[in-house]
Chains A and B, each alone.
Chain A
Amino acid sequence: MRRSALSNRPDPAGSDMQNEVWAALGAVDDPEYPGVSIVELGLVEDVRVIDQRVVVDLVPTFSGCPALTFIAADVRSAVGALDNIDDVVVTFVAEPAWTPERIAPAARQRIAAGFGVGVQVGVKPVACPQCGQPALREQSLFGPVRCRSVHRCTACGEVVELIR
């Protein structure tokens, strides 16, 4: 079952078991954003249930992301804990490419409030997570992780990172 492109929600026409798997995935947090699930981050592309076997397709934010093996292990343990499931296969797909648009709007707000990290969607100026002004100036294209750049807010002076 492929969810509709940006909804971050399972297809209402999906089977009960598919919905259960989506719910279990909704409880798997991203290792670098505790409290934000991999579903909200748009990492889950597809869930297929074949008899008692589940295949979960994940889209990595960046290829070579060091968190992938941990995310895959967390997915196997969360989905494997459901009743009537014998096997969980996690695959990482190269297409479509992950983009920040895939992060659910509510999660963008929680990431800004909880971690001081903004989300760069398209070329739209991003509000500073600290003061709310759209006055960020890029300092470096890469920050501590490959999916974030470092910025300075010219309004309040805050050092800010953006998921890009």
Chain B
Amino acid sequence: MARAWGTISEFEDFLDGGGFVEPNDDMPDEYRDQVFRFIELHANSELMGGLTERDWIPKAPGLRRKMSVLAKTQDEIGHAHLLYMVAADLGVRTRAEMLEDLFAGRGRFHNVFHYQAVTWADQVAIAFLVDAAALISQQAVFKNCSYGPYKRILRRIIAEEGFHMRHGEEMLLVFAEGTAVQREMFQAALDRWWWPTLHMFGPPSKPDDVLLRWHIKSERNEHLRDKWVQKYATLLTGYGFQPPDPDLRRDPETGKWVTGEIDWAPLKATLENLGPDSARRVGDAAHHWADTRWVRDALEARADEAA
């Protein structure tokens, strides 16, 4: 049952009233494009994140950690699978086109997957810091998301990401309570991942941000970043680690953490796929895609036979 709106302001009234847009609705083209780009970015990021995680299955220390890395890989690839279906339903680009763009270096994915994870402690930093940042962002989108199918997928993704966070916290404790070498390893990883995690929330939202106006996002980027900083600066310093920001301090009046000035140039580079590890990441992903073509061909041949 498709719905249509006569004017943008009628559409916006519908959204402001808490209405949900469904794929068959005659939604404004710009809304369709914005929702599509947002979900495509999320899908690409889950896929690239899953491939990163995959690299660590053989290197994770111990069977239990291997199991959890394996499960996280499956989670993320599975989330990408669901999100590509929802994105493709918008009719802007097909799943094949989105993947083609991604592997040709024309797609976008989150900045944190444009850096190299050097040691196992980097994976711990990613699980502890980056997964938490992703969860904060996703919870804020879920809270007020006007696009029905995306909101319904997000509620499951959030439940699963919450579970990743428990893994992150547990692994961090091993390093925090570990030997001097382990503590140094984690501090070095923190030095690499602190700023990219702050960047992940994006630059401060513009006052007229259409994503906010159309209830795709529910909170401004800088508010979400601040929420993360308040929690994680406290936790990290509590464990005796030092974020690599000489100007990070507590405001003596409010007691709140204030960061130094954020340099946005590294984020801009990742948006152009020109981050430190972008070329290798995209190249590896394209290689995996080509390498597994026979599986897709076999599945399609089987489907044709069945039809």
**A32 pairs with B163, CB closer than 8 A:** yes
Instruction: Count how many chain A residues have C-beta atoms less than 8 Å from C-beta atoms of the other chain.
Output: 28
**B75 pairs with A157, CB closer than 8 A:** no
Chain B binding surface, main DSSP class: helix
**A157 pairs with B163, CB closer than 8 A:** no
Contact pick for A145, options B68, B75, B86, B162, CB 8 Å: B75
Chain B contacts with A in 67-81, Cβ cutoff 8 A: 67-68, 70-72, 74-79, 81
- Which of B5-13, B152-160, B179-187, B249-257 contacts the other chain? B152-160
**B81 pairs with A140, CB closer than 8 A:** yes
**A116 pairs with B68, CB closer than 8 A:** no
Contact pick for B159, options A33, A64, A130, CB 8 Å: A33
The CA of A31 and the CA of B163, in the complex, are separated in Å by: 6
Contact pick for A158, options B64, B74, B149, B160, CB 8 Å: B149
The CA of A138 and the CA of B77, in the complex, are separated in Å by: 17
Chain A contacts with B in 75-118, Cβ cutoff 8 A: 114-117
**A158 pairs with B166, CB closer than 8 A:** no
Contact pick for B64, options A69, A157, A159, CB 8 Å: A69
Contact pick for A144, options B67, B79, B149, B162, CB 8 Å: B79
The reply on A66 being an interface residue by CB < 8 A is: yes
The reply on B92 being an interface residue by CB < 8 A is: no
Closest Cβ of chain B to A142, distance in Å, is 7
The reply on A67 being an interface residue by CB < 8 A is: yes
The reply on B134 being an interface residue by CB < 8 A is: no
**A159 pairs with B153, CB closer than 8 A:** yes
Asked if A142 meets B78 with Cβ closer than 8 Å, knowing A116-B155, A158-B149, A158-B152, the reply is yes
Q: A139-B85, A144-B74, A159-B89 are in contact. List 8 more A-B contacts (CB 8 A).
A: A70-B163, A116-B152, A117-B156, A142-B78, A144-B77, A145-B71, A145-B74, A150-B78
Interchain Cβ contacts under 8 Å between A and B, 27 examples: A31-B163, A34-B159, A65-B71, A66-B67, A66-B70, A66-B72, A69-B64, A115-B156, A139-B81, A142-B74, A144-B76, A144-B157, A144-B160, A145-B74, A145-B75, A145-B160, A146-B71, A146-B74, A150-B82, A157-B23, A157-B24, A157-B89, A158-B149, A159-B82, A159-B85, A159-B89, A161-B156
Interface residues of chain B, those whose CB is within 8 Å of chain A, are: 23-24, 64, 67-68, 70-72, 74-79, 81-82, 85-86, 89, 149, 152-153, 155-157, 159-160, 162-163, 166-167
Interface residues of chain A, those whose CB is within 8 Å of chain B, are: 31-34, 64-67, 69-70, 114-117, 130, 139-140, 142-146, 150, 152, 157-159, 161
